[in-house]
Chains A and B, each alone.
Chain A
Amino acid sequence: MRRRRFLASPLLLLASGTLAADDYPRVLPGQTIGFPRDAGAHPAFRSEWWYITGWVREPDGNPFGVQVTFFRNRPRVAESNPSAFAPRQLLFAHAAIADARYGKLRHDQRAARAGFGLANAAEDTTAVSIDDWSLKLVDGAYIARIVARDFRFDLRFAPSQPVLLEGDGGFSRKGRSIENASYYYSQPQLAVSGNVAVDGRDANITGTAWLDHEWSSAALAPEASGWDWIGINLDDDGALMAFRMRDHAGAALWAGGTFRGRDGALRSFEPAEIRFAVERRWRSPRTGIEYPVAMRVSVGNDDYALEPLMDDQELDARASTGTVYWEGAVRALRGGREVGRGYLELTGYGKPLTL
């Protein structure tokens, strides 16, 4: 589900009413998600993303977070235009490094219309690129190449577990209406290897990451203003995903989550079983936006305390997707003991979404 915030960004958002939702294919329950086809792009749908977040480290170094995201959007404004420049598909990408020693995110972004071979999202498998930024599924592993302003990624993310279909077999509801849903699968416990260059210094790193691939046409309910999301790789090879949609007052509109144990047993949670409680807030000195950077998440009977790697993990993407959000590396603790690491995403904390 998450990242609906991007749908709602001024550029991407189609205000309800300008276009009826059924101009895009509807997201329906009971559909089978198949691979490799569904690893590729679904250009008919309004929006789509491939989202990788992970914790990595040098052999003797401190851990830090990495994020690579590609977004696809179909704006439906110039579909009949025969021009090769016609903006039928838009692509965006965000990349970031969360290093506590640096104190804030290093991040960069790309935006382009698909075409001319310069920006493309393939339909047959995961292969999405904007200029010299790319994410590709090659021989079963995701290869990410990012050349950012002040860092570079050359990373390989190899699955160590089967694909995890979120929601009901990949049909993930996002609101009270059945219309508000997405197709959604995750790839937890990705083994990371490769090279990260920061400020001209190359570092070979290893670590563990999480991939989300999600596509939808009307995922965001009109009354939603944003969401909180976590994806945690548990130390015992388990995986936990949980989210809640917030309304304009900050109350939960909807929630969902999945837990996959070390044995592979899958458990989906009802909205009522998931609670996000704010432990600590942090205000961005740049934007003045306040984020609940430390949270307590209850999933069924289990309780996880989330501690951020650092407070300032705000990502200002107004130059591409038009959004400002918090995307941060977090530790998950149970009873004061670290049990896993992952990412917390907080969207819609700036100006409320206007639909």
Chain B
Amino acid sequence: MRKPGLSAARAVLAGSLVQNKARSTLSVLAIALGVALGYAVALITGAAVNELALGVQFLAGDADLQVRGPRSGFDEAVYPRLARLPEVAVASPVVEADAKLADRDDVLKIIGVDVFRAGAVQPGLIAQAGDRLDQLRPDMLFVSSAAASALGVVRGGELAFQVGLRTVTLRVAGVVPGGAQQRFAVMDIAGAQTNFDRPGRVSRVDLRLRPGIDIDAARERIQAQLPAGLAVQRPEAGVAAGEGLSRSYRVNLNVLALVALFTGGLLVFSTQALAVVRRRPQLALLRVLGMTRRQLASLLVLEGAIVGVVGSALGLAGGFVLARAAVRVIGADLGAGYFRGVAPTLALAPIPLVIFFCLGVTIAMLASLVPALEAARAAPAAALKAGDEERAFSRLRPSWPGLVIIGAGALAALAPPVAGLPLFGYLAIALFVIGTLMLMPRIAVMLLAALPLPRGGPPRLALLQLRGAPGQVAVSLAAIVAAVSLMVSMAIMVASFRVSLDAWLERILPADLYVRAGAAGDTAYLGADDQARLAALPGVRSAEFQREQQLLLDPSRPRVVLLARSIDAANLARQLQLVRGPVTLPPGAPPPVWVNEAMLDLYDFAPGKLIELPIAGKLASFTVAGVWRDYARPQGAIVIERERYIALTGDRSATSAALWLASGVNPDELSRAIAGDIPGGSRLEIAAPGEIREVSLKAFDRTFAVTYALELAAVVIGLFGLSSSFGALVLSRRREFGMLRHIGMTRRQIAAMLATEGLTISAIGLLVGFGLGWLISLVLIDVVNRQSFHWGMELNVPWSALASSAVVVLALSTLTAIASGRQAMSRRAVLVVKEDW
């Protein structure tokens, strides 16, 4: 018995896959798409992050520990103190500046080293010079090969940088041997200090410890001796902190890719479920022929596995091609601006390759498991009879598991972030989707029952048919509900974000004209003279200056931004969009600072709290007087009164200015006056608030472009799912159609019936998808975004956009239903009826 059983099994299996070529292809493609997206995202972000990590490692060389502090550096007197510590074998001081290139809107990382110290710690940075004294000359630099090709310079060439509003020109003495991937330039530390205005300051001191010294114990001893605001860590910690900024973004992309894969899994599920139902008699026959339940279930799961293997293999190849294209077209950061100065090369990363292959196969197998178990459980005798199909879906009906899962999702949504990532938020979304899909039969029954039965004709027949088979309806709906809910939730989230961002931009840009010393880097600034000249320009009614700094509060996180600006306490709301506070300071309390929402989330700087900030190497006490909304600095930002900042640091320079114009002054004319009348004024970036808003919103849209693409992919897969399952559903009812034709129904009438069915199913899918999407959008806005980026935003539903996409989806799915039906009806009615008896 065994042998005929197995060969029959092979026939059933292969027959099904081959016979339904179109549907199998769709399943394979859906899995392939999900795998491709996931693998591409993993490849791109992985390559960029890897380059970042390699870069940090390369730059750190053999350092055991690194001492870091504010972005602008710290007192160089710390260096000899570190060098003399008994644990320290070599201390290598480093001056780093992201130098603004004079002629273009780009920066080059300048690494100023003491060649005699760096040689023992960061040998990779030391270039062989024709004249070794070039390594000491203050006007010479060595560029990495990546920088040389990116900037188009060769040995003997020149590079011009903007420092303050001046131009500093340095000569290229050679190329650093390493650094094929990182864009940077190495020069003498003294030259870096003087050329880039870092007098008396170093950015970093890299330490190599004496042999046999316990690094962690030494780290603690050294940390205890450091001035406020400095931290000593292993170099890897810098990698983690650097990755931290982009991590949430990367995780979000990965999750979106997984959603696409999940939707693909749903497609496999609906296809398999209906394929199993359609083959119910054949499968029952296999059981009669002696195949065990277990063997039958394995056989059907194997079908899923074949789809998974083929789809995953295709997907991996496609993902690699996609990743290469994406890096070429939009860059390694996928348009988000996180990985500047990194030129990654894509390699066939083996670990993500294995992971996504396994994921694709597993999802396809899991998607076939439920239908397979159901088919194996069926009593052969009953299943052999015609008309047993609907029984197959009865198992999907109990409603309490779905409700429990949705409840668990609600609980998960309340949980705090894990390691700075909204893992429970993602879990909540997954649980909401799964729970809703499990409840679909019940929801379908309720909604169908609520629909008034049409008087007669095909629509009445359609509704009766659907009412009679809610399980099948639910299976058809799974993919479309998941896709629509994803689309709706993303649309609501993005719209809410965009509207809130727009409102925020309007609020933070109250002046008539904005002036920035340099678009990028940290070497451009407005000196005290420049500020006086700007404020004294005819036509300027008043001017406010802002100094941007970066402080290291927690070495495991990126530096937070310190904004020193004029604050008018009486008119605070005009300057900052406060979401908490303002707090009235009690007499004698330390002076106020105002923090953004990220500071509240990451450092628990709640209004009224007393805090200490390391400014100019000393800890100063402050009171948190309010929390303001900020979409620009997810690493955290603190506003301090500029007068107080100057008193603490003596730093009178500014990085940007806001100008209010006298009435009747044309902003364009003033822009020209600034460029013409102020020395170096042509280097200033001058923008009206409208332009800044436009540029910011453009950047926002670019960032979400990838999101849109993934979303679209999910919707397409959802439509495939609907098409596939509806087609299968129609095919499985071909006896019914034959019968209907026999009793005198026209083709047109049957088409109308199918269109009504399609319309009804789609409407139900849209309705449930919209509801689920709205729920998910709440999680995205209040949990995922908040925990990932610390952005608060108001809910805003883009009704018109949603309505139009609903119409499109409805139309497409109805057309899909009709097309599927037409294919099914193309067989001759008589043959079809005969087939059953």
- Residues in A lying within 8 Å of B, measured CB to CB: 9-11, 14-15, 75, 77-78, 81-87, 90, 111-113, 116-118, 131, 319, 322
Q: Is the CB of B138 within 8 A of A81?
A: yes
Residues of B close to A85: CB separation below 8 A: 76, 93, 114, 188-190, 193
**Of all chain A residues, which has the CB nearest B89?**
A131
Distance between Cα atoms of A14 and B136 in the complex (Å): 13
Q: Is the CB of B136 within 8 A of A87?
A: yes
Residues of A close to B93: CB separation below 8 A: 85
Q: Is the CB of A113 within 8 A of B76?
A: no
Q: Is the CB of A111 within 8 A of B116?
A: yes
Q: Given A11-B133, A77-B138, does the pair A112, B190 have CB atoms closer than 8 Å?
A: no
Residues of A close to B199: CB separation below 8 A: 82-83
> Is there a chain A Cβ closer than 8 Å to B84's Cβ?
yes
Q: Is the CB of B133 within 8 A of A14?
A: yes
Q: Provide a sorted-by-A list of 23 A–B residue pairs whose CB atoms are within 8 angstroms.
A: A10-B131, A11-B133, A77-B136, A77-B137, A77-B138, A78-B191, A81-B138, A81-B194, A82-B194, A83-B193, A83-B194, A83-B199, A84-B200, A85-B93, A85-B189, A87-B136, A87-B188, A111-B116, A112-B114, A112-B117, A113-B136, A131-B83, A319-B119
User: Besides A11-B133, A85-B189, A118-B80, 12 other CB < 8 A contacts?
Assistant: A15-B131, A78-B136, A81-B194, A82-B194, A85-B76, A85-B114, A85-B193, A86-B190, A113-B136, A116-B76, A116-B79, A319-B119
Distance between Cα atoms of A15 and B132 in the complex (Å): 11
Q: Is the CB of B80 within 8 A of A117?
A: yes
* Chain B, 125-177, CB within 8 A of any chain A CB: 131-133, 136-138
Residue in B76, B116, B132, B191 whose CB lies within 8 Å of A84: B76
Residues of A close to B189: CB separation below 8 A: 83, 85
Interface size class of B (residues with CB under 8 A): 20 to 34
- Closest chain-A Cβ to B317's Cβ sits at a distance in Å of 49
Distance between Cα atoms of A34 and B138 in the complex (Å): 36
Interface of A is mostly: loop
Per-residue A-contact encoding for B176-197, CB less than 8 Å = 1, 0 else: 0000000000001111011000
Residues of A close to B193: CB separation below 8 A: 83, 85
Distance between Cα atoms of A322 and B136 in the complex (Å): 15
Distance between Cα atoms of A78 and B582 in the complex (Å): 53
Residues of A close to B132: CB separation below 8 A: 9-11, 322
- Closest chain-B Cβ to A334's Cβ sits at a distance in Å of 43
- Closest chain-B Cβ to A328's Cβ sits at a distance in Å of 27
Distance between Cα atoms of A170 and B159 in the complex (Å): 48
Distance between Cα atoms of A84 and B199 in the complex (Å): 9
Residues of A close to B188: CB separation below 8 A: 78, 85, 87
Distance between Cα atoms of A131 and B79 in the complex (Å): 13
Residue in B80, B116, B137, B138 whose CB lies within 8 Å of A116: B80
Distance between Cα atoms of A113 and B188 in the complex (Å): 11
Q: Is the CB of B80 within 8 A of A87?
A: no
Residues of B close to A78: CB separation below 8 A: 136-138, 188, 190-191
* Chain B, 185-216, CB within 8 A of any chain A CB: 188-191, 193-194, 199-200
Residues of B close to A118: CB separation below 8 A: 80, 83-84
Residue in A11, A14, A116 whose CB lies within 8 Å of B83: A116
Residue in A81, A111, A112, A117 whose CB lies within 8 Å of B191: A81
Per-residue A-contact encoding for B103-128, CB less than 8 Å = 1, 0 else: 00000000000101101000000000
Distance between Cα atoms of A159 and B729 in the complex (Å): 108
Distance between Cα atoms of A81 and B116 in the complex (Å): 18
Distance between Cα atoms of A11 and B79 in the complex (Å): 25
Distance between Cα atoms of A87 and B188 in the complex (Å): 9
Q: Given A85-B76, A116-B80, A118-B84, does the pair A75, B194 have CB atoms closer than 8 Å?
A: no
* Chain B, 78-114, CB within 8 A of any chain A CB: 79-80, 83-84, 93, 114
**Of all chain B residues, which has the CB nearest A110?**
B116
Distance between Cα atoms of A11 and B84 in the complex (Å): 27
- Closest chain-B Cβ to A115's Cβ sits at a distance in Å of 9
Residues of A close to B200: CB separation below 8 A: 84
Distance between Cα atoms of A112 and B120 in the complex (Å): 11
Distance between Cα atoms of A111 and B117 in the complex (Å): 8
Q: Given A82-B194, A82-B199, A118-B83, does the pair A75, B133 have CB atoms closer than 8 Å?
A: yes
Distance between Cα atoms of A118 and B189 in the complex (Å): 16
Distance between Cα atoms of A116 and B119 in the complex (Å): 19
**Of all chain A residues, which has the CB nearest B93?**
A85
Q: Is the CB of A77 within 8 A of B194?
A: no
- Closest chain-A Cβ to B78's Cβ sits at a distance in Å of 11
Distance between Cα atoms of A206 and B80 in the complex (Å): 35
**Of all chain B residues, which has the CB nearest A78?**
B138
* Chain B, 57-86, CB within 8 A of any chain A CB: 76, 79-80, 83-84
Q: Is the CB of A75 within 8 A of B191?
A: no
**Of all chain A residues, which has the CB nearest B129?**
A10
Residues of B close to A87: CB separation below 8 A: 136, 188, 190
Distance between Cα atoms of A131 and B80 in the complex (Å): 10
- Going nearest first, the 7 A-B pairs with the smallest beta carbon separation are A11-B132, A83-B190, A85-B190, A116-B80, A86-B190, A83-B193, A87-B136
Residues of A close to B116: CB separation below 8 A: 90, 111-113
Residues of A close to B80: CB separation below 8 A: 116-118
Distance between Cα atoms of A118 and B138 in the complex (Å): 21
Residues of B close to A15: CB separation below 8 A: 131
**Of all chain A residues, which has the CB nearest B136?**
A87
Residues of B close to A83: CB separation below 8 A: 189-191, 193-194, 199
Distance between Cα atoms of A193 and B482 in the complex (Å): 87
Residues of B close to A112: CB separation below 8 A: 114, 116-117
**Of all chain B residues, which has the CB nearest A10?**
B132
Distance between Cα atoms of A14 and B114 in the complex (Å): 20
Per-residue A-contact encoding for B587-599, CB less than 8 Å = 1, 0 else: 0000000000000
Distance between Cα atoms of A86 and B76 in the complex (Å): 13
Residue in B117, B119, B190 whose CB lies within 8 Å of A81: B190
- Closest chain-A Cβ to B108's Cβ sits at a distance in Å of 20
| Residue with the greatest number of chain B CB neighbours at <10 A, chosen from A87, A111, A117 | A87
- Closest chain-B Cβ to A121's Cβ sits at a distance in Å of 15
**Of all chain A residues, which has the CB nearest B91?**
A118
- Closest chain-A Cβ to B455's Cβ sits at a distance in Å of 93
**Of all chain A residues, which has the CB nearest B84?**
A118
**Of all chain B residues, which has the CB nearest A320?**
B116
Per-residue A-contact encoding for B427-467, CB less than 8 Å = 1, 0 else: 00000000000000000000000000000000000000000
Distance between Cα atoms of A314 and B94 in the complex (Å): 34
Distance between Cα atoms of A111 and B190 in the complex (Å): 17
Distance between Cα atoms of A322 and B200 in the complex (Å): 30
Distance between Cα atoms of A111 and B84 in the complex (Å): 16
Distance between Cα atoms of A82 and B191 in the complex (Å): 10
**Of all chain B residues, which has the CB nearest A83?**
B190
- Closest chain-B Cβ to A92's Cβ sits at a distance in Å of 9
Distance between Cα atoms of A118 and B81 in the complex (Å): 10
- Closest chain-A Cβ to B198's Cβ sits at a distance in Å of 9
- Closest chain-A Cβ to B153's Cβ sits at a distance in Å of 22
Q: Is the CB of A75 within 8 A of B136?
A: yes
**Of all chain B residues, which has the CB nearest A91?**
B116
- Closest chain-A Cβ to B519's Cβ sits at a distance in Å of 28
Residues of B close to A82: CB separation below 8 A: 194, 199
**Of all chain A residues, which has the CB nearest B95?**
A85
Distance between Cα atoms of A111 and B92 in the complex (Å): 13
**Of all chain A residues, which has the CB nearest B211?**
A149
**Of all chain A residues, which has the CB nearest B112?**
A85
**Of all chain B residues, which has the CB nearest A149?**
B211
- Closest chain-B Cβ to A60's Cβ sits at a distance in Å of 32
Distance between Cα atoms of A111 and B138 in the complex (Å): 19
- Closest chain-B Cβ to A120's Cβ sits at a distance in Å of 11
- Closest chain-B Cβ to A139's Cβ sits at a distance in Å of 25
Residues of A close to B119: CB separation below 8 A: 111, 319
| Residue with the greatest number of chain A CB neighbours at <10 A, chosen from B80, B93, B132, B190 | B190
**Of all chain A residues, which has the CB nearest B202?**
A85
Distance between Cα atoms of A344 and B131 in the complex (Å): 30
Distance between Cα atoms of A59 and B188 in the complex (Å): 49
Distance between Cα atoms of A319 and B191 in the complex (Å): 22
Per-residue A-contact encoding for B791-827, CB less than 8 Å = 1, 0 else: 0000000000000000000000000000000000000
